[in-house]
Structure 1
């Protein structure tokens, strides 16, 4: 969504939301949860609505574990490798995503072992899910890529000196997508900021005319139960 005669018609600040049920599949290290990955140009936030768990993170500052329980709000900035952990099989989260849902629309790189990060085609072959296939086949593929990403994640956790190389590889993998990401940002967060600036200018001049253009929006999820990186997703339209 973009700026209109009403101002900006998207969610506040150009964010997007989804409902997440975190995977309860055990990984090689015995931990149940999602697929470790990072975002390169977006912050992301969690509002925990049910269950118990944690988010494990890797940054240049080191490894951290943040406990997640109902009522917790946690967020992190671009470059944070994150892995959701489902401790009781019932972890439910409302995910807040910067830039109109870009983290679920391409701004993500999984922590695969280095041999899968050499070029976009090799990476895509290792991470693509069989869209339209039976659910059991999609689950097998989602679980396999999760396990591969956990393998790379555990290596990074044990060898943090390799994190800068992973950052560089991730940036190379997404470079060809940046122009489309910029368009999404321009239509979302940038448009929201521009609309606020215009409204403040009007108010400073004593002009309240834009208040007569107020509108109300509501939506139900456009898709439910999609296989995502961290779990099953109920997602909303973001265009």
Structure 2
């Protein structure tokens, strides 16, 4: 019996060590053609399996990503420098798959939704920094179907109307200014109109119009209420 226990420990410990292997995110290398890339450690020919991490200057963990056979697989975690959790994003076989949830610096919900095989699916919700509900949209296979928007005061936006993937969605600043109007057609964003903040915040009125969306970082969480970066993931 004792010999069996020793044999079990000798064979299982290496496996446990492989599962908990941690490396620095910046040490990983992407190899392969676009769309089929995998992550490797330098001087290694086997795709990386394990966890990759990054830390804030003060030593607190900033990011943790799980990999399997060189692809993101499992939950990706982000933390604020203060130690509070910023987000949890799930992956499967290199694609977003499963729940996504994000919090503000005070631990309140900021965003919540689900991906299926790399596409937004189901109900997605966003909240203002103060905790009030900001918007709610439905998606099927990555295409928006409907959208509802609330002002920071809790009133339903009268201008937002997206049905069957077509219509206009308004975005408000934390102060209640309708700074952006986004046009959707067949579930995709086709244009946007930017209205600068009022004179007390910016000198002079004005408007910027575009017939196609700017280059966004789809899954990068925004730090400002007037950032354009997250628009694809509303």
The interval holding the TM-score normalised by the smaller chain is under 0.3
Q: Which has the higher helix share?
A: 1
Structure of greater relative contact order (alpha carbons < 8 Å, 6+ residues apart) = 1
Q: Which has the higher strand share?
A: 2
Compare CA radii of gyration and give the structure with the larger one. 2
